[in-house]
Amino acid sequence: MPAVGGIGPANGKAYPGNLTPFVTITCIVAAMGGLIFGYDIGISGGVTSMDSFLKKFFPSVYDKQHADTSTNQYCKFDSQTLTMFTSSLYLAALLASLVASSVTRIFGRRLSMLVGGILFCIGAIINGFAEAVWMLIVGRMLLGFGIGFANQSVPLYLSEMAPYKYRGALNIGFQLSITIGILVANVLNYFFSKIKGGWGWRLSLGGAVVPALIITVGSLFLTDTPNSMIERGQLEGAKKKLIKIRGVENVDEEYDDLVAASEASKKVEHPWRNLLQAKYRPHLTMAILIPFFQQLTGINVIMFYAPVLFKTIGFGSDASLMSAVITGLVNVLATLVSIYGVDKWGRRFLFLEGGLQMLICQIAVAAFIGAKFGVDGEPGELPKWYAVVVVLFICIYVSGFAWSWGPLGWLVPSEIFPLEIRSAAQSINVSVNMIFTFLIAQVFLTMLCHLKFGLFLFFAFWVLVMSIFIYFFLPETKGVPIEEMAIVWKNHWYWGKYIPDDALPHVANGNLEMGYGVKSV
């Protein structure tokens, strides 16, 4: 387990408690909620490059691809119908996450996970047996609803459950599951696409029932978080739970702080409207900008379209699916690095290092593709070393994302909101994430066609902007208990002015602790 860095007893709160087997297992099970999201991200790109799938559901796309004799590689796959299939899910997820906000707050985090698992399961079955496009779309909408519920509740669950010193590592279990889901899906696509008779896509799409069952059954065994139990008035149960989770008898201090946070949260009747108050300005800004920036790294261009992209660069169809497997593997392994480092080196370091790494790689990929394909998209003969170098840079880029914006895009929003707005703000995080995932999925092929290699420079520009933003505006949150986060904002050079003194946890008893939070700049 990662060593604990940052704030110790001398300059902040240090609740007693261990990384108990109970909390570890609970968090592993909950984190598996990420599998459904990851499986879907990985499966869609591969399935839409299978000829048998296209012939059955999107014959015009298939015909166009095969009739296209132009050698302009940038525009070969530009089809709105096909991208609509991939991206429809994200609109459904967006809507579901808004509904999930109330379910998560009123009925607990666990119920949202259960609902998510069940909806996803039904969607997967419909897709596996699909005979017509409408079945595909209905199935994908159900998958989207499932993801909306899971992504809204799982990160909150993990951040509340974890002892604060290990919160980063345990929360990133969610992103690890996402990456494992993507990898497994890529590998399965590779093999299923080879099935004679061309029905392998049914296994790819139907296979989603497996991760769906894991989270559905898993959530039946999970217990709710003490924070959520207190929020729902189950005080006695919450205390017992906290003792069990932390593995120590003396949980009074943490318990009292949870109750205090819950009292404060009870005064808030309209979490959505409240989000507009000035004192939540930093939180609202992060709930919108972090997922927006995460998608503007361009990662899903690789995740959804790696096979198509690699085909464009000149790989055969088999080799391009294979390269998607390689990037998938890099994605998983690099996520482990952030599990190791996030509570040690902190969030800001990972954000900034990962950003720099992505920036360099995007410029390099743009230069390589630009040099060979030019503006007319006609590469001529491509040497093998060339493709290898491009894949190498894409892998370094993916690893940069996988230890920065990937996991932190879910971790940071789940740990910075006060309890009273946590569920609503997390829904905003998920919705913004989904809408930009949708937009990128929807416009990527058109953008490639028009911007050509400049597309990579477009994303490079955004990575630069987001890194500057993090440098100036995101305070470090490692090692700070979740219900104490107000102090971090109060200490920030810019956001401090928005946080009223009575929002601070200990001001009431004259015990204001200002030890948290490094002044960022």
- Which residues form the interface with ligand BGC (CB under 6 A)? 41, 175, 178-179, 182, 294, 299-300, 303, 331, 406, 409-410, 433, 437
Which is closer to ligand BGC, CB of 94 or CB of 486? 94
CB of 90 to ligand BGC, least distance (A): 9
Which lies closer to ligand BGC via its Cβ, residue 222 or residue 411? 411
Beta-carbon-side half-sphere exposure of residue 434 (alpha carbons within 13 Å): 29
CA neighbours within 13 Å on the CB side: how many for 70?
12
Q: Give dist(CA 9, CA 480) in Å, integer.
A: 11
Q: What is the closest distance, in whole angstroms, from the C-beta atom of residue 53 to ligand BGC in the complex? A: 21
Judging by beta carbons within 10 Å of its beta carbon (0-12, 13-18, 19+), is residue 3 exposed, middle or buried? exposed
* Shorter beta-carbon distance to ligand BGC: residue 303 or 387: 303
Counting Cα atoms < 13 Å in the Cβ hemisphere of 341 gives: 19
Residue number, 205 or 408, with CB nearest to ligand BGC: 408
Min dist CB 425 to ligand BGC, Å, is 17
Please state the closest distance from residue 295 (CB atom) to ligand BGC, in A. Answer: 6
The dihedral of CA 102, 107, 112, 117: what is its sign? negative
Smaller CB separation from ligand BGC, 174 or 495 = 174
Question: In 10 A of CB 443, how many CB atoms?
Answer: 14
Q: Which is nearer to ligand BGC, 251 or 408 (CB)?
A: 408
**Is residue 449 classed exposed, middle or buried when 0-12, 13-18 and 19+ CB atoms within 10 A define those classes?**
middle
Q: Which is nearer to ligand BGC, 459 or 489 (CB)?
A: 459
Torsion on CA atoms 502, 504, 510, 516, rounded to nearest 10: -150
- Taking a C-beta distance cutoff of 8 angstroms, is the pair 105, 423 a contact? yes
Beta-carbon contacts of 39 under 8 Å, excluding residues fewer than 6 positions away, are 181, 182, 184, 185, 207, 208, 211
| Shortest separation between residue 443's beta carbon and ligand BGC, angstroms | 15
Chain centroid to CA 225: how far? 21
Looking at beta carbons only, is 73 or 338 nearer to ligand BGC? Answer: 338
> At its nearest, how many Å lie between ligand BGC and the CB of residue 191?
21
Closer residue to ligand BGC, CB minimum distance, 405 or 489: 405
State which residue, 101 or 151, has the beta carbon closest to ligand BGC.
151
Identify the burial level of 317 via C-beta atoms within 10 angstroms of its C-beta, where 0-12 means exposed, 13-18 middle and 19 or more buried.
middle
> How far is CA 100 from each of CA 112, 146, 271, rounded to the nearest angstrom?
6, 10, 14
Where does residue 197 rank: exposed (0-12), middle (13-18), buried (19+ CB within 10 A)?
exposed
For the bound state, the minimum distance from the C-beta of residue 431 to ligand BGC, rounded and expressed in Å, comes to 13
Label each residue of 86-131 as H, E or C.
Answer: HHHHHHHHHHHHHHHHHHHHHHCHHHHHHHHHHHHHHHHHHHHCCC
Minimum distance of ligand BGC from residue 328's CB (angstroms): 9
Shortest gap between Cβ of 335 and ligand BGC (angstroms)? 8
**Comparing C-alpha atoms, which of 518, 482, 512, 517 is closest to residue 500?**
512
Least distance in Å: CB of 148 to ligand BGC? 13
